[in-house]
Structure 1
Amino acid sequence: MSVPARSPIPSSLYSPSRNAGTPVSAPQTRNPITIRLRKILGTNFTDEATTEALQTLSELYGTQSPVSVSDSKARTAEDPDSDDDWSDENANTRLAVRDHREGLNETASRVRKNLRRDLEDKLAQGSQQFLQAFSEVDQTLDDLQKHVAAMRIACDEAETQLRLSSEASQSLLDRAESLRSEREGVETRKSIVMLFLNRFTLSNEESEAITSREIAIGPRFFEAMNKAERIRNDCRVLMTGEDGPTKVGLDIMASTSSYLEQGYEKIYRWCSFEFRQMGRDVQLEVGSTMRQAISRLSQRPELLSEALAFLTQTRQTALLSAFLDALTRGGPSGLPRPIELHAHDPIRYLGDMLAWVHQAIAAECEFLESLFGLGGLEDEGRARRMVGAVRTFEGSEEEGWVKELLNSAVTKLCVPLKVRVQQTVRSQESSIVSYKVANLLQYYMLTMRRTIGDDALLSTTLSEITEVSYKVFFDAIEAQGRALLRILLDPDDPSLTPPLPILEHAQLLREIMHVYDSSVLDETASEPGQSFNRILDVMLDPAMDMCAAAADEKTRHRPQWDQAVFVLNCWCYLQSVLEAFEFTSEKRRTIQEKIDGRVRLLEDEHYENILRDASLYDTVAIINSKSPSDPLSHLLPAQQLQPTLARFSLWLSSPEVVHSPRLSALSSPSLHSTIHRVCLIRVAKSYAKLCEEVRKSENRYEAASTLLGMERPFGQVGVLWAIFGLEEEGEESTVD
């Protein structure tokens, strides 16, 4: 129902008219009509309850639509022949609006009079509808109750019939239960029999897999063999009871034994055939089937030995053929090139042959280890062999087979390898090449010993040819040493440096030491380099003897030629050649001992020469040889001693005090300074002894201090130390 439009409220209702300046009285403010109007005007009709109430009234009394202007226009459009003009239309619109307002006023008046009655009629109508719905529900419940009673009667009749049927069929159920129990017993016995047959007999497919030649060796065959062995093991356990062996057990053992023998025979034939085919390739791969077959056949050592005999023959032939092809034909399509093309280069020729053999052995060893299942980490914890480590055969049966087969496979390689190596070794004229060859052979000999053992035929062969190569080398250097002793130096050559033959010999020794230093050391020696001492002895001893002999020979032709300096220069040069290598320490000590002996002789000789140059030789000789009871003044009067001291003072001013011309020819500056210093210390000690003897009263010199103080060093040993350029502690050390 639409809310009627509110007519404008006079302003007098909001605030009563009053004259200007007249105050509003309290009774006018509290007028009930005014308060009511203000409350009505201030009411909010937008809340939910008011809106719902108005909506209910609108549905109860309906709605009257006013005649709008658009309806008038529509009627005009329907009647285009109408003679009404625009003013007539406005007049009709105003009449329609006025009629609508009058209708609304009548409706509002009727609502105010009949609202309570209309609402009560509306509620009564709703209650009638509820009563009618509940009547229908009550009728439905009565029908349902009748139906349930009928169903209860039917269920009672069915239960009675079921009880009668159950009593009638009880005997049948008891009989069926008895039959069921008997059936379960039969099924149990049947399952036991089937389990026994499955456990202790082979099926047709399994027996066929073992005995038939048409079925190849494979997983099916090995599964059947495993089952046959398991049957035998289980049967042995059953036959160890108190009742002893049974006929069934004996039959099972005989049957499985026959199957196993046929299976091992089949494995033997298959392995023999496969081993004959393996001779065609140098490098082989082992499949899991072959590995399992060998593991199974190892339980029959006699069959395994016969099968491996075929493998040994084929591998020997294959390796020998491949080695000869590598020597003469090369690889596929000529690459790599044949090894014998490099026969002019002994190091490369022998290195290529030995490298081929080593590679073939490594491949063969890997093949055999894979064949016997020794390639990786085993169950017992054996670790994989590292590269270069010594291969140890720990005594297991498989490792024994690997060692024996590996030795047999390379047996035929020993003869052609030994012949070619010996021909190459014996044809060498250069000692350095011979040593390189011997060192190369020694390296591969040690490698083969680590790989296949010391007692293998190839290791023995390499050991023999290594000894031959070292014998050839030592023969060569011994011949060079003997030739060096026969060399005669030019007697007119005044040079004190090492001669050209010594330089060439030392250069050869240096090259040999470089080869040894960069190669594998002899592991059998107690110390590194001990095996090289023989080479040093053979090469250095003749050179040192040659230097000493040449010095003696030249001394006979040139008396003024300095023999001691020449020998020291040669020996120091030979020692310097060895200093770059640690393994020559023992030989360097031996040479140093000989050098020290020569140095002591040179020191004595140089000391005597200094005493002669300083005019003290005769004086020192008299002091050292006089008897304690003879006064020195009788043997060496003051008139003779004074000129000697004057010449000694003059010598102290010469350059020979600082630098000796003779020792300058030494190739070692440190040796020169050491010898000269030691001799000056000995001269200072001799002068000190002279002063001491002169000052003694028993020698009967008059004015001894004056006699000594006339010439430098004025009888003061400290001044002589300063002239020689020696430290004060030098005096203390020499006095000690």
Structure 2
Amino acid sequence: MATSYFQERATPASQDGLSPASPQVGGGAVSRGANALSSRITSVLSASYADLEIRDALETLDARGVKNTAETRRQIRLDVQKEVIRCNGEVVKDFGQVAAQLRRIGTAISCLNQYCADMRSHIAAANGETRPVLEEATSLMNQKQQVETRHQILSAFNSHFLVSEEESTVLTSTAEPVNEEFFQVLTRVKKIHHDCQVLLGTEDQRLGLEVLEQSSKQLNAAFQKLYRWIQREFKTLDLENPQINASVRRSLRVLAERPTLFQSCLDFFAEARENILSDSFYAALTGSTSDSTNIATKPIEFQAHDPLRYVGDMLAWAHSATVSEREALEVLFISEGDEIKRSIQAGLESEPWLRDDGNEEVFDGKQALNQLVSRDLMGVARLLRQRTEQVIQSHDDATLAYKIANLIDFYKSTFVKLLGADSEVLDLFNTLEGSAMRQFRANMRDHVASVQSELATAPADLSAPDFLDEALEMLKALAKSYDTSTATVDDRDNAFQPVLAETLDPFLSGCENLCKGMQQPDRDIFAINCLLASKSVLSSYSFTKDRASEIDDTVGEHTTRLVEYQHQYFTHSSGLNTLLEALSDISDTAEGLKTIPTLDVFKPESLISASQQLDEFLPSALIDAAENLKLLRNRKMVQDITEEAAGRFCEDFEFVESKILATDDLLYADDEEDEEKEPEPGLRDLFPRTSGEIRVLLS
């Protein structure tokens, strides 16, 4: 639009003859007009039409629909000014209307102010007339409020701090039952006793002291009533009845606020339960109770003919009774969480003279439960100890005594989990286990003494003697019994060592004594057979691996001596020992090697004889050597020992062969220097066997 606008303006100027090139105008006027037009064109061309204001102006012209004509361009400024003046006139007119409305509002506000002043004057007059009446009414209202407050305080005091005769009877009379009403009244009296502190904080403490004394008497009487009721309930308490347990449990929780009475109840309960459990255990053993009443179940003494089963049945009954007693008492004493503990804590705070400063923990429910169950089982424990010791002392079987000791140890670990490590019942198990182990050691020593008196000679086949086989069978039974026990992993290896010392070591010592009078190789063969028989039993269990390793070391020592024996057999039977003895002092120097042919054993006749003896020995050498160890039970060990001895024999032969070859080489060199001397046959010609042939024949 801007481009077309300037093009239209340029056209009329040229038509009117106002162009700078027109010759009709004078020279000065033409020069000034050209400069003005040039300046105007320059200013127009230098203007930035990207300016926002110019853009907005052009958009406004477009919006008004203004056409680009010469008339429009001449009148545009006047039209814009005229429109501005018209808009200003409209604004002034509108503000005139606003001013008229403001004048009307001011008139209304003035009227309202006049009305308010009149009302204030009327109110002031009314207040002056009613002030005395209001003051009198306020005084009466205050007096009424004070009277009502005193009446409420009196009613609250009577309802809170005073107990009716009916409630006092329910709380203290032994003829009334211990029921929900009793506990409600007891809770109310305890609250009264506690709230007496408020009354004691007033100036007149007489009322507080009277109420405190009365509530204390009522509480003492109530706790005594509750204590006697619990004792009666304990005499006929059925631990399997959950309803009775609920009432007794609540009563115990409340009685715990009096720690002395609570402990007395526990002592009474423990004594009663001890008698009940003792009678039950006696009835389970004999089939009749203390009052000669027979029971329907078959008694343990008639059912368990085996001593081990008899002891096991008694321990199983004790364990079952302990589990049942613990479950019942756990419901009775600690099922309410820490209620008893909090009650005892409150009781010690109210009775500080009962507090033990050395114990930070006032009441531990689990520990108290374990102690109570232990006390309940003391009667059963005494009877169990008596019967078990009778069984232990009346049998001379060492295996039985040890199995009983392991059985007791198994149940001891079970009772530790049930009652804790500090239970008094565990002393019983320690005593019984120690008694069984003493009897086991005594029986074993008697058996060893009887066996030692019968020791004579080893069996002809050099197998393990009968007393060792019997000892190993006993050891196998003991190890199996120990393996089924609950010994801890850390102590399993060490705990079985005393058993090995009693059941194995004396018999191995007896085998060693038999070896002393035997010749080789029977001595080592017999020792290895005994040790391998022992190892076959020990290797079946992980807790005897250390002893099995020691036996392996000892077997290795005997094996070394058998290898040496077989090696000596190879060298002597083959005739190689004479050559080895002769060469033992010969050095590898030329002078030493030259002396070899001068030795007696290396003379042609002797060397030929040694070669013939070697040839006769080699075909059956391995069979003959294995025949020396035929009584060794482990055939693989026989083969390994023989092969190792044969290997050492081959090394000895290689040594002799190297000396012979070195000597022949030296003598052959001397014969070449002395051409006139007739060569003599070499040592190799007289002793033709090679080490390769020896290894093939002995492989």
TM-score by length of 1: 0.64
Alignment of 1:148-297 (within 5 A): 187=148, 189-236=150-197, 239=200, 246-278=205-237, 287-297=245-255
1:528-574: CA deviations, max 9, x gaps? 23211111122222222222333444x3xxx6983322221121111
1:320-355: CA deviations, max 9, x gaps? 222222221169974421111146321121112222
Counterpart for residue 28 of structure 1: none
Counterpart for residue 277 of structure 2: 319
Alignment of 1:28-107 (within 5 A): none
In structure 1, C-alpha distance between the alignment counterparts of 2:317 and 2:221, rounded to whole Å: 42
In structure 1, C-alpha distance between the alignment counterparts of 2:367 and 2:481, rounded to whole Å: 38
Q: Give the one of 507, 510, 515 matched to 2:476.
A: 510
Label 1:655 to 1:239 Cα distance change in 2 as closer, same or farther (>3 A). same
> Does the residue aligned with 2:454 lie in a helix, a strand or coil?
coil
Amino acid at match of 2:308: I
Counterpart for residue 358 of structure 1: 319
- 1:576 has 2:576 as partner: no
In structure 2, C-alpha distance between the alignment counterparts of 1:376 and 1:651, rounded to whole Å: 92
In structure 2, C-alpha distance between the alignment counterparts of 1:677 and 1:394, rounded to whole Å: 75
Check conservation: 1:477, 1:539, Cα contact below 8 A. yes
Counterpart for residue 452 of structure 2: 485
> Does the residue aligned with 1:299 lie in a helix, a strand or coil?
coil
Q: Aligned-pair distance for 1:585?
A: 0.6
1:54-90: CA deviations, max 9, x gaps? xxxxxxxxxxxxxxxxxxxxxxxxxxxxxxxxxxxxx
- 1:408 has 2:375 as partner: yes
Q: Mean alpha-carbon deviation: is it higher for 348-357 or for 365-374?
A: 365-374
Label 1:303 to 1:378 Cα distance change in 2 as closer, same or farther (>3 A). closer
Label 1:563 to 1:526 Cα distance change in 2 as closer, same or farther (>3 A). same
1:213-253: CA deviations, max 9, x gaps? 3331122111222222223333325645xx56733333332
Check conservation: 1:615, 1:644, Cα contact below 8 A. yes
Check conservation: 1:342, 1:348, Cα contact below 8 A. no
> Does the residue aligned with 1:287 lie in a helix, a strand or coil?
helix
Q: Aligned-pair distance for 1:575?
A: 0.9
Amino acid at match of 2:558: R
1:246-275: CA deviations, max 9, x gaps? 333333322322221121111112112222
> Does the residue aligned with 1:653 lie in a helix, a strand or coil?
helix
In structure 2, C-alpha distance between the alignment counterparts of 1:284 and 1:608, rounded to whole Å: 87
Check conservation: 1:484, 1:542, Cα contact below 8 A. no
Check conservation: 2:274, 2:376, Cα contact below 8 A. yes
Counterpart for residue 667 of structure 1: 633
Amino acid at match of 1:222: F
> Does the residue aligned with 1:429 lie in a helix, a strand or coil?
coil
Amino acid at match of 1:266: K
Q: Aligned-pair distance for 1:616?
A: 0.8
- 1:367 has 2:341 as partner: no
Label 1:401 to 1:570 Cα distance change in 2 as closer, same or farther (>3 A). closer
In structure 1, C-alpha distance between the alignment counterparts of 2:498 and 2:241, rounded to whole Å: 45
Alignment of 1:428-439 (within 5 A): 428-439=395-406
Counterpart for residue 540 of structure 1: 504
Amino acid at match of 1:202: V
Counterpart for residue 582 of structure 2: 622
Counterpart for residue 438 of structure 2: 471
Counterpart for residue 609 of structure 2: 643
Q: Mean alpha-carbon deviation: is it higher for 629-638 or for 220-229?
A: 629-638
In structure 2, C-alpha distance between the alignment counterparts of 1:302 and 1:455, rounded to whole Å: 24
Counterpart for residue 685 of structure 1: 651
- 1:346 has 2:303 as partner: no
Label 1:394 to 1:299 Cα distance change in 2 as closer, same or farther (>3 A). closer
Aligned length: 530
1:191-215: CA deviations, max 9, x gaps? 4443344344435554333123333
Q: Aligned-pair distance for 1:694?
A: 2.7
In structure 2, C-alpha distance between the alignment counterparts of 1:230 and 1:360, rounded to whole Å: 42
> Does the residue aligned with 1:664 lie in a helix, a strand or coil?
coil
Amino acid at match of 1:511: A
Q: Aligned-pair distance for 1:375?
A: 7.6
In structure 1, C-alpha distance between the alignment counterparts of 2:336 and 2:428, rounded to whole Å: 28
Counterpart for residue 43 of structure 1: none
Check conservation: 1:485, 1:545, Cα contact below 8 A. no
In structure 1, C-alpha distance between the alignment counterparts of 2:618 and 2:667, rounded to whole Å: 25
> Does the residue aligned with 2:626 lie in a helix, a strand or coil?
coil
Counterpart for residue 52 of structure 1: none
Label 1:424 to 1:235 Cα distance change in 2 as closer, same or farther (>3 A). same
Amino acid at match of 1:480: H
Check conservation: 2:326, 2:369, Cα contact below 8 A. yes
Q: Give the one of 577, 592, 597 matched to 2:552.
A: 592
Check conservation: 2:235, 2:272, Cα contact below 8 A. yes
Label 1:697 to 1:370 Cα distance change in 2 as closer, same or farther (>3 A). same
In structure 2, C-alpha distance between the alignment counterparts of 1:445 and 1:626, rounded to whole Å: 74
1:651-678: CA deviations, max 9, x gaps? 3333526972222332113322221122
Amino acid at match of 2:602: P
Counterpart for residue 724 of structure 1: 698
Label 1:206 to 1:308 Cα distance change in 2 as closer, same or farther (>3 A). same
1:691-712: CA deviations, max 9, x gaps? 2323445996668995336656
Q: Percent identity?
A: 24
Structure 1: gaps of 5 or more residues: 1-169, 381-392, 726-736
Q: Which runs of 4+ in 1 moved over 6 A?
A: 173-185, 281-284, 375-380
Check conservation: 1:632, 1:699, Cα contact below 8 A. no
1:359-407: CA deviations, max 9, x gaps? 2233333333333225879899xxxxxxxxxxxx987254454344333
In structure 1, C-alpha distance between the alignment counterparts of 2:152 and 2:409, rounded to whole Å: 73
Label 1:625 to 1:706 Cα distance change in 2 as closer, same or farther (>3 A). closer
Counterpart for residue 683 of structure 2: 707
Amino acid at match of 1:724: L
In structure 2, C-alpha distance between the alignment counterparts of 1:561 and 1:657, rounded to whole Å: 16
Q: Aligned-pair distance for 1:474?
A: 1.7
Q: Mean alpha-carbon deviation: is it higher for 627-636 or for 362-371?
A: 627-636
Amino acid at match of 1:227: R
Check conservation: 1:232, 1:253, Cα contact below 8 A. yes
Q: Aligned-pair distance for 1:506?
A: 1.6
